[in-house]
Amino acid sequence: MKPKNNNNTLDHSRLLRKFLSPSSYIYRSNHHRHGHLHCLSVMAQQMLNLVFFSFLFLTTMTLTRGLSKKCFVTVVPTTPLLTFLERVQETALDTFGEKDFDAKPYVDLSLKLNLSKTEKAFDGLPRRGENRTVSVKDLKEFIATYFDDAGDDLLYYDPVDFVPEPEGFLLKVKNPEVRAWALEVHALWKNLSRKVSDGVREQPELHTLLPLPEAVVVPGSRFIEVYYWDSYWVIRGLLTSKMYETAKAMVTNLIFLVDTYGYVLNGSRAYYTNRSQPPLLSAMVYEIYNRTYDVELVRKALPALLKEHAFWNSGYYPGCSRLQPQLKSVLCNVEQTQARIFYKSMFFPLAKLLKHYLTLFHIASAAESGWDFSTRWMRNTSEFTTLSTTSILPVDLNVYILKMELDIAFLANVLGNKATTESFLEAAEARKNAINSVFWNGEMGQWFDYRLANGTICKESETWQACNQNQNVYASNFIPLWIDLFHSGS
């Protein structure tokens, strides 16, 4: 059981308080084993355009006004270092001010000395004025003395299998300009390769970076750690670049996360526990096997894939069993403390602009979905306050889980495990039928996300209605075409 502790709810975060206005709040207790909560609330904001660039895409959205409410949520203890870094983060915000403030580097810092010593020094910093602010000079000095820089624990690494122009590289691309450009992109693998320093493995308690065993390729920019589904696209590129060893190392790292946590985390940081991402590990293993026929890799990966499949079907991500037993919804079981860090570190620019607090779960769940952010998660696409990610059954997630089942069936067959192959083919067939019955719209010729009733995962009374399909056109509507099972031939 997780302790309920309202002293730790969001209004005790000074950062968030700045963007909250007191109002009435609704909270709903969880009704799932792992204790997720929903806020039925929405918040008031002003018009703004936010451009959020990630490694994969650029999304623009418009925020408008609404009502303000707040969530009371359950607290799970997080790592002591993270809790401390969050305090440093808040102090830094007060000291340096909101302008151009990036909160992520603070939760990425690693300790030079042990935590108790560092905390003692921090608590001893002189604080002045009504807000008990630390001076710029003192804080800078403290950080320089007690921390290594964010990113210092991830060392540059020269990938073993990189050559400037791999043999047989993109043979079909003839245009010299395009070829030159492709080789430039290829050269970036060298730039983005890293290895977790030995220090992280020796003293993990000094780092929020997780001690991944093998070399990694990171998305880059401020995303200096490994991310889950980003890795799928990285691996597709690595295979094109014939960097098979690096691709396998990426998979080994993700298997390590499954072994350690039971699933692949959103990213390789202590603050990404309790969240996954579009589950594409099986697809990574399949793609690598397809190029290398490495049976050892399959042998190593299959137990992890079975474990991950069990996780996605465990109820952690509750689906709508009354509607269709196999369908899962993107749901974020993000807990309070981590949620605050997540919110602050990732969405500070957003938080700054918002006068009020938006339903954390819907934001966090959107960030977990791989579509952070999109009008896809809003009930009214011109009204950000209608963001309701956790009550949408998404086409893509369900297709990824189907793909996982097909991949497991295929890989188990490689190992001669007929029983597993058969049971997973059966599961995939059932899921395909569920996907078609809930999402398919014959008239429009696409699969649409399905919106559950307001703020619930699935009401007892939920019955399928055509009007609950979100008929807006998103790339995700066509993800089923990735899978042969959905090809009708026409």
Q: Which residues bind ligand NAG (CB under 6 A)?
A: 18, 34, 54, 64, 76, 78, 114, 116-117, 129-131, 156, 191, 227, 230, 266-267, 273-275, 277, 290, 333, 335, 342, 346, 364, 367-368, 372, 380, 382-383, 453-454
CA 417 – CA 293 distance, rounded (Å): 17
CA 30 – CA 383 distance, rounded (Å): 27
Report, in Å, the least distance between residue 140 CB and ligand NAG: 19
Report, in Å, the least distance between residue 435 CB and ligand NAG: 21
Report, in Å, the least distance between residue 76 CB and ligand NAG: 5
Report, in Å, the least distance between residue 38 CB and ligand NAG: 13
* Closer residue to ligand NAG, CB minimum distance, 294 or 430: 294
Cβ 448 vs Cβ 477: under 8 Å = yes
For residue 276, what are the CA distances in angstroms to 197, 295, 344, 390?
24, 27, 19, 14
Reference 406, options 431, 385, 383, 389; nearest CA is 431
CA 76 – CA 144 distance, rounded (Å): 31
Report, in Å, the least distance between residue 68 CB and ligand NAG: 15
Report, in Å, the least distance between residue 244 CB and ligand NAG: 14
Extract the tokens encoding 91.
Answer: 């102090």
* Closer residue to ligand NAG, CB minimum distance, 1 or 445: 1
* Closer residue to ligand NAG, CB minimum distance, 18 or 418: 18
* Closer residue to ligand NAG, CB minimum distance, 437 or 454: 454
* Closer residue to ligand NAG, CB minimum distance, 72 or 347: 347
Cβ 271 vs Cβ 341: under 8 Å = yes
Buried b (16+ CB within 10 A) or exposed e, 310-335: ebbbeebbbbbeebbebbbbbbbbbb
Report, in Å, the least distance between residue 413 CB and ligand NAG: 10
* Closer residue to ligand NAG, CB minimum distance, 176 or 416: 416
* Closer residue to ligand NAG, CB minimum distance, 121 or 444: 121
Reference 372, options 364, 383, 380, 382; nearest CA is 364
Amino acid type, 258:
V
Residues in the chain: 490
Reference 207, options 133, 154, 157; nearest CA is 154
Report, in Å, the least distance between residue 173 CB and ligand NAG: 18
Reference 180, options 164, 198, 201, 157; nearest CA is 164
- Residue where the block lists tokens 């619930």: 456
Report, in Å, the least distance between residue 392 CB and ligand NAG: 11
* Closer residue to ligand NAG, CB minimum distance, 191 or 260: 191
* Closer residue to ligand NAG, CB minimum distance, 156 or 433: 156
**402: Cβ contacts below 8 Å, ≥ 6 apart:** 428, 431, 432, 435, 483, 485
- Residue where the block lists tokens 């920019």: 221
